[in-house]
Amino acid sequence: MPSGGAPVPPARDGPPGRRPDDEDGEDGLAPEDEEDEPEGHVFPALKILKDSVGRSKMHPIRVIRKEERDSGPWPLISEHMDGEPRWVHPDVTATRVPHIRANGRRVRRDQLDVPDSFGEGVLCLIDRNGSFPSACSAVPLAPNKLLHTGPLDAYDKAAAGIYLIDIPAWTRTDMPHPLGRIADRPDEDGRAWVTTPHIKQLVKLVRDNHLDAMPTIHDSWTGKANESLFKPFYEATRKARTELVQIRGDPYKAYKTRLSIALRLLWPKRPSQRSPFWRPDWRVSMVAEASVRHWTVAFKAVQEGHTLVALRNVDQAIFWTPPNTPPSTYRIGTGFGEVKEQVRPGRRDQSSEVTD
């Protein structure tokens, strides 16, 4: 294994919507997070999110009643349905190493060592801005109740919800499975529940001949689809970021904190946590949409000839590229969907935090 360069500086603390200490089964919320922001707050995210949902003419159901949550589709929904990739190229050596953040918290990171067989190049680290709020611009979901629609002959574009499908075979070794971590947890029949963003992704991959056929839909819970439920929230979030990212400091931190809290309140995990929402399907669909967008842009870069070293969460991508030839599929900037790019010499990277 080649010798590596100096360890890189710590990665940022993650995208809005995910706090640094997030783990499966924890929502990172605290008592009183559900309260509206005070008058004059730099970014009243929760107020804006509630208003966004309230504008819909479909009369969305923001809260599924407690007596209904232990039956129907709700016990079938888990965090793993978000399909976040947790992938490292099979020829790259990943070693878990301890790391101490600037705030003193001890975490683990993946140290990635790129082999000589990859040829000459540099590590290109991509950090995607605002993955979760950006996904809110057009996430397919059902504003009302999910009804049991059972096995389906084909995906219905007019519906959204959750679907039990066979996990399709994926033989490429230069990209993670398009279903991300969903593919790592099949049931005894090789099936898994997915949300509409991943169903739409599979349809596109079949259309473009990257998959042989659409997997069978063995069961489903769906409702009338809507892709604009969160769009007013997205637009307000984008506008605020454009202004506050220039200011930085406490106003920008407050913006990110309240944005994170608002999106987490879509699905509070602890029974004691109050929230104006309880829609796990909305929350998981939103993260799944971010995962699909993240995967799709990375796939386009790989198709252009770039070597993907690692793809994680909804915003981290590491490529091995010839010097001065970063992937053109990414737009550099501070806006939603744009990325921060860092080029590092050497064959070792230690910026990918282990979150699974």
Is-contact 11 352, C-beta < 8 A? Answer: yes
For 196, residues 6+ apart whose C-beta sits below 8 A from its C-beta are 140, 141, 159, 160, 161, 163, 225, 285, 288
**pLDDT (0 to 100) of residue 338:** 80
Give pLDDT tens digits along the chain (356 positions). Answer: 333 332 333 333 344 444 333 444 466 788 888 898 989 899 999 999 999 999 999 999 999 999 999 999 999 999 999 999 999 999 999 888 888 888 888 888 878 899 999 998 888 999 998 999 999 999 999 999 999 999 999 999 999 999 999 999 999 999 999 999 999 999 999 999 999 999 999 999 999 999 999 999 999 999 999 999 999 999 999 999 999 988 889 999 999 999 999 999 999 988 889 999 999 999 999 999 999 999 999 999 999 999 999 999 999 999 998 888 888 888 888 888 788 888 876 666 656 555 44
CA distance 77 to 286: 13
Count of beta carbons in the 10 Å neighbourhood of residue 69: 14
**pLDDT (0 to 100) of residue 13:** 38
**pLDDT (0 to 100) of residue 111:** 85
**pLDDT (0 to 100) of residue 348:** 61
Quick one: which H or E segment has residue 95? strand 93-100
Count of beta carbons in the 10 Å neighbourhood of residue 132: 26
What totals of helices (H) and strands (E) does the chain contain, helices first? 6, 12
CA distance 181 to 186: 10
- In order of 27, 33, 173, 233, 279, the CA distances from 44 in angstroms are 20, 12, 44, 11, 20
**pLDDT (0 to 100) of residue 6:** 29
pTM of the model: 0.88
Burial of 221 (0-12, 13-18, 19+ CB in 10 A): buried
**pLDDT (0 to 100) of residue 159:** 98
**pLDDT (0 to 100) of residue 17:** 43
DSSP state of 167: P
